[in-house]
Amino acid sequence: MESVLRAGGRVLVNTQRILPMTVSAGTAKYPEAIAPMLQRIPADVEAVDAIGTARELGNPKCLNVVLLGVLARSMPALPRDLWLDVLRRRLPPRLLELNLKAFEAGWGLKAS
């Protein structure tokens, strides 16, 4: 596998298994050993169950904000309060509470 990521880069992966049409149609097989393949990339690889966390929060659509929380934790130059402030300013009130919970869940999520 050729890497297009710079050495020391970061790869954040949701462990959700999404079957491409070729796999669903039976013309291809889903790769079973994805984690070992990712470990060969010269980068910091973190795989998390963001979709499972989003489902536990009651809405799988907040998956992206769970991942944002995981990413934010790895970027100490940008304080946590800054991320939360941006979410508060950008999200409509009806979505704010869920997405703040999703961000916090992602912040605390550990690699699987």
CATH number for the domain harbouring residue 87? 3.40.920.10
**Domains held by the chain: number:** 1
Whether 65 contacts 87, CB under 8 Å: yes
Residue 39 structural domain: 9-108
From 13, 64, 70, select the one nearest 36 (Cα to Cα).
13
- The pTM score is 0.82
- The answer to the question of residue 2 being in a domain is no
Residue 3, pLDDT score: 61
Mean pLDDT by 10 residues, the chain (112 residues): 72 86 92 77 84 96 96 94 97 97 95 72
Instruction: Tell whether 3 is covered by a domain.
Output: no
User: Helix, strand or coil for residue 108?
Assistant: helix
**Tokens linked to 49:** 């169950």
pLDDT of residue 2: 61
Token couple for 59: 């809405």
61 lies in a domain? Answer: yes
Q: Which of 71, 62, 55, 65 is CA-nearest to residue 12?
A: 71
In a domain, 4, yes or no: no
Query: Residue 18: what pLDDT?
Result: 84
